[in-house]
Structures are given as structure tokens and as C-alpha cells.
Structure 1
Amino acid sequence: MAPQIAKKAGAQAQANAKKQAAKRGGRMNPAAAKRMQQKMQKQVQQTIAKQTRAQAQAAAKKMTAHPDFHTYHMHQFGGNYQYQMGPMFLNMGFYLGLMISSIIMSLMFMGARFAMGRWRAFLASQLTGLLATVIGPLVTIGTLRCFIHFTGGVFLSLWGNEWLFGLGAFELTFSLALLLVGLPSFVIQLPLMVSQTIAGGALIPRQAMNGFYQWLSYHTPMYQGVYLTYNAMFGGGNGSVYSTTLWLIIAIGLVVTTLVVAIGYRGKEPRGFAKWIKFN
């Protein structure tokens, strides 16, 4: 727009200069001509700025849109604190119970392996842990149902997710219990559980976590269990990603416990914590 305006303003200024020269008999001294030229340039610039701004505002006004928008909310939480924090407390409580039971079972294993053999004792510990992951969710989900409402289909979905989460949590805690000889594993297991609670995603979104907690959320069962619970209760995606991570944790934990039993528990006589529990 500016060149067109400048052309019009320049022509108008030249016309005004000719009129001024004609009034003075067609003659104008060089100094007056220079002043006239500067005055013309200033007028042209002012005219260009004014008209360009006016035309730009008119064009912008025509292009201004007023869109009509609608917001659709998907996978909404319930309206109170019980719904929002239910997944975290459900998985945290189940994890804590499995952690304590895995430490107790590691002590039982240490005493039972001298009476029934280490592999039979190891198999018995694994079957006990499997039974705990089947029965435990019925108790925890039933307790949660006393505080919030969900359907029978959601109950079954939660039970399946909690069973898978429980297997991952048990294999992780049991491998640490065997590796660190039972009770001393509390020194590692308790801070690990607290760290997983922070990295679980219910208190802080993964994107807002620092590098350590983000790494922990990818490699421990708590985050996967919390978001599988969210998906079961409120809907959502990426369930296969969380399930795959839990299966990997289960497989790695089982391999670690097998190697620990094969390499670390070959003694023939009870020692240390193994003397606490005796089997005839």
C-alpha cells in the first residue's frame, strides 16, 4: 500500500509546488526551492504513515475472525478427592502389603530350604506370592468400593490390572528381599516405595518430574499400576504400554530371584536369619 500512497502524495505535493511558483511569477530562488522540497518530503511521509495505518487497520478489521468453539472433556475424574486420589492409594497400599509379605516370605524361605530343599521352598514362596496377588486386590478394591462408586465391569477390570501390578511389585520386592537377606532390605525397599509414590504420576505429572523420578516411573511398577487403574476407572489409552512394562518387570524379577537362589543360597547349615524359623 505504501508505494501507491507515496505516488499519490508526491503528485499532490508537486502540484502544490507549481501553484506556489506560479503565484511568484514562475521564479523561485534555490534556498526557497530547497525548503519547499523538504516541506514536500515531510508532508509526503506524514501522509504515507497516516493513510497506510488507516488502510492497514481497515484490512485487519475485515480479516478479524470470531470463531465459535466448544470444549469436550474426555476421561473426567469424579468430583471429589476420593475419585482423584483413589488410584494412588489403591496401588500404594497393595504395594506396601506385598513388600512386607515378600520380606516375611524371604525369611520363611531361608528356614524352609533346609527342611524341604531350596527349590521347593522357592517354588512355595512364588506360589504364595501368586496367591497373594489374586486375593489381595479383592480386599483392596472392595475397600475402595466402600468410598466411591463404580460398576461391576470396572471392578473386574481393576482386579485384572491389580493382579498384574501385584505380580510386578511382588517379583521386584521379593528379589530385593532375597538379594539383601530379608530384613536388611528395608533400608532399600522403604525409600524405593516412597520414591515410587512420588513417581507414580498421581501427585506430579511425569512431564513435571525431574530426571530421576521420570526414569523411576518408566522402570518400576507403581506408575504403570496407577495409570492402569485410572484407565479402568475413567477411561484412557496406552494400556498396552503399561502392561508390557509390568510383564518385563515380572520377567526380570523372576530371573533375578532364580539366580540369587542358585548362587547365593547354597549353604548346608542355617545361619543368621535362617535360625529364626525352623522347620522339622
Structure 2
Amino acid sequence: MNFKKFLLNKGVIGALIIVLFYGLLMVGIYFSGYKAVPSKIDQLPVAVVSQDKDSTKLAHQLEDALPFKHIKKNLSLSEAKAQLNDRKIYLIINVPQNFNANLKKIDGKSTAKLKFYINYANPTTAVSAMETVSKSVGAKVQKNVLLQQGKGVLSAATLSQLETETKSLIAANPTQKDAILAKAKATQQAATTKINQTYANVAKSYQYDIVKVNKVPTGMQHSMAPFFMSLSFYIGSMIAAMLIVMAYKSFAPLIGRWRSYVYTEIAIVMIAMFAPLLIVGLSKSMIHFSTNVYWQLWFSHTLELFAALNVNLIFSLILGQLGIMINMPFMLTQVVSGAGLIPRPILPGFFKAMSNISPCFYSIRADYNILYGGNHTETLWLQLFAIGIVTIVIHLIIVAFQKNKNPLIDVA
């Protein structure tokens, strides 16, 4: 009987509910979010830029061969590079000027070079997919070039023609058969040497380059740094907001809820400014970036933490400690919607919409820009600040409708 009472105790039942709640929640969010890889990689936008009028056919073949649904065809190279840097496209295939002319010069000196531009300051899944496509397309083009040029070589120096000519000469001059055969053998050897030399030049006549834009140092700790740092601040803000609300609700009956809220917001600003000094400092010691980058990251994560603490404060103000039941799912959602692992264009609709109000999304993008390169970092900072200000307005509405209660703890 005692065992039955133990099993029906609120603590045991609560433990079961928590295990089920977070287990089902995480599996549901992560599985639904990450199913986009690799099935939706083909939705990433790319561009084909041809600067050679004589290579129009090749450009069309590239467009047909690419496994992407969104291919931009009418951009100049400078426009495409700007969009690549802004992460509006993820790959540029460039057919440069005189590509076709250089391809026809099988002299071992001229080279037709197809170029693939990839922005490496992007989630690993996108970079890896673009590298794979670039290597595959580059190899296919090279194979086709070799085959086409090989046909030309064989048609120009066919051994069957030499054999026919030899037979005709022997028939006309049977007494000189040995001399004719010796000369034919020498001609055959010369033709073989010429073919081998030509094919050697063919192999040198085409190359392709992967141009690394905003190169990221080797190692997953570098490519994942924006995601890890941003998420670590957000998770900390979730628990911190719950503790700050305890202080707010304890002091509100004693000094008034408005003064208590002002103190709360001051505390948030102080924490947001101080905590990144140490956390970004630890990151600097592990992935080795410059002091200038350190201060930019400090400012970026100060804004992130300011926004994140205020976002988490909303439901903590309303529900107290139970606010974590809403803040936790929102945090888990941001693991996906922050777009640190999966590019935003291929996120499922729900997560793409959530990224608009996700502090992690703007922070991760800003970190990529600061650490490895990119544009509009100041805009991302303004968006983080705007999230914080909007949440403060929501706080003011909540505080206005709250009533003073007895202190939760003795603050004397």
C-alpha cells in the first residue's frame, strides 16, 4: 500500500509529466525542424553567370544540370557576389570571358576555367552542399570537354585512314612494299605520339576553382561558433529571467511594482553588459580571434542578452516560475529557427516565421558577419535592440495590470 501511495505522490507524477513533456517536445521540434536536410537543400537559391557569349549553350546545360529549383540567370557577376555576401544566394557558377575560345586552344598554354563562388560564412549544411555540387558539376563539365575534344582529335588523325592509304600504295607499287610498310609504321608511331601529346594538352585545357568567400578556419568549433555562443546566452537568459522575477515580486509589495520593475530592468542591462565579457573572453581563448572582434562580439551579445532576458521575462512576469513551461519550448524552437544549423530559406514555415522574433537568429547572423565576413551587421544589432524595446512595452502593460502581493522572501 505504501508503494502505491509513493507512486501516486505528486513528486513522482510530476517527474513523469516533466520527462514526457520535454522528451516529446524536443523530439517533436528537432525532428520536424531538421528534416529539411537534405530533402530541401534543392530550395537554396543559386546563380549562373555567363560572361562569354560563345558559351550560351554551356550556361543552359549548367542550368539544366543543377539540382536546385531557384536558379538566378540574369545577374552580373558583381550583383551575384553582392547577393552571395548577403546570403540571398548560396552559390555562383561563373563562365568567364573567352571560356569557349580558350577551350578550343589545345596548346597546353591556354586554360578555360569555370569558377564556383561559395560563401563559407554560412551554416555547415549549406557550405557542404554547395561544395559537393561544385565538385560534381566541375567533374561533369571536365568529362564532357575531354570527350568532345577527344572526338576531334581522333577524327583528325584516324588510324583507319592511314591503313587505307598504305594498302593503296602497296597495290600501286608492290615492289616497294617493305619500304612502304616501314614508312607507314613510322607514320603510325608519329600519329600515336601526336595523339598522346594532344590528350595531355586536353587535360590541361580545363580547370575549375572553388572561390572561398568569407573563409572559415578549419574545424567545427569555428563553423559552429556563432550557433554555440548565441544559444548559450539564450539558455542562460531563460533561467536568469525566472530568478529576476522572484526578486521583482519580492520587492514589489515593499517599494511598489513600478520601482521594482525599474530596478529589474537596470539589473537586466547590467547583467547583459557584464556576462558577455567573460563568455566571449572564453570563446576568444578557444578559437583565437582579434581584440577588435572581441569587442564587436561583446556588443552583439550584450544586445542579444538584453533582448533574450526581456523576452523570457514576459511569461515569467505573468506566470512566475511556471513561465519556464512556455519559455523552454520557445528556447527549443530557436535552436532550429535561429538558422545556425539549417539556412533560413529551407526552414519549415513555422520555424521561418519564428526566426523573425528570435534573438538567436539575429545574433547568429551578426556573429557570422563579425567572425568571418558579411554585410548589414548594424541592422542586425538594431533588430535585436528593437526586440528588447518591444518586450519592455509588453512588460509595462503586464505590470500595470498586476496587483501587489506579499513578498515571496524576507528582503530585510
Same topology, TM > 0.5: yes
Give the match for residue 230 of structure 1. 368
2:276 is aligned with 1:140: no
Give the match for residue 78 of structure 1. 217
The structure with the largest strand share of the pair is 2
Give the match for residue 211 of structure 1. 349
- Tell me, what secondary structure is at the counterpart of 1:182? helix
Structure 2 runs not aligned, ≥5 long: 1-56, 58-98, 104-111, 116-209
- Tell me, what secondary structure is at the counterpart of 1:101? helix
Give the match for residue 411 of structure 2. 279
Give the match for residue 120 of structure 1. 259
Task: Report the TM-score when normalising by structure 1.
Answer: 0.72
- Tell me, what secondary structure is at the counterpart of 1:72? strand
Amino acid at match of 2:312: T
- 2:399 aligns with one of 257, 261, 268: 261
Amino acid at match of 1:174: L
2:327 is aligned with 1:189: yes
Give the match for residue 309 of structure 2. 170
Cα drift, residue 68 of structure 1: 2.4
For the 8 Å contact 2:337–2:347, the answer to whether it is kept is yes
RMSD: 1.8
Amino acid at match of 1:167: F
Give the match for residue 68 of structure 1. 113
Give the match for residue 94 of structure 1. 233
Cα drift, residue 64 of structure 1: 5.6
CA distance in 2, matches of 1:244, 1:122: 24
Give the match for residue 5 of structure 1. none
CA distance in 1, matches of 2:410, 2:260: 13
CA distance in 1, matches of 2:394, 2:303: 18
For the 8 Å contact 2:214–2:373, the answer to whether it is kept is yes
Matched-pair identity in %: 24
Task: Report the TM-score when normalising by structure 2.
Answer: 0.49
Amino acid at match of 1:156: W
Name the structure, 1 or 2, with higher relative contact order (CA <8 Å, separation 6+). 1
- 1:106 aligns with one of 238, 241, 245: 245
For the 8 Å contact 1:112–1:278, the answer to whether it is kept is no
Cα drift, residue 244 of structure 1: 2.8
CA distance in 2, matches of 1:104, 1:166: 15
CA distance in 2, matches of 1:64, 1:139: 56
Count of aligned pairs between the two proteins: 212
For the 8 Å contact 1:219–1:245, the answer to whether it is kept is no
CA distance in 2, matches of 1:90, 1:83: 11
CA distance in 2, matches of 1:140, 1:247: 20
Larger Rg: 1
- 1:129 aligns with one of 256, 268, 272: 268
CA distance in 2, matches of 1:116, 1:278: 13
CA distance in 1, matches of 2:293, 2:231: 19
For the 8 Å contact 1:104–1:182, the answer to whether it is kept is no
- Tell me, what secondary structure is at the counterpart of 2:238? helix
Structure 1 runs not aligned, ≥5 long: 1-59
Give the match for residue 386 of structure 2. 248
Amino acid at match of 2:114: F
- Tell me, what secondary structure is at the counterpart of 2:339? coil
Give the match for residue 161 of structure 1. 300
Cα drift, residue 204 of structure 1: 0.7
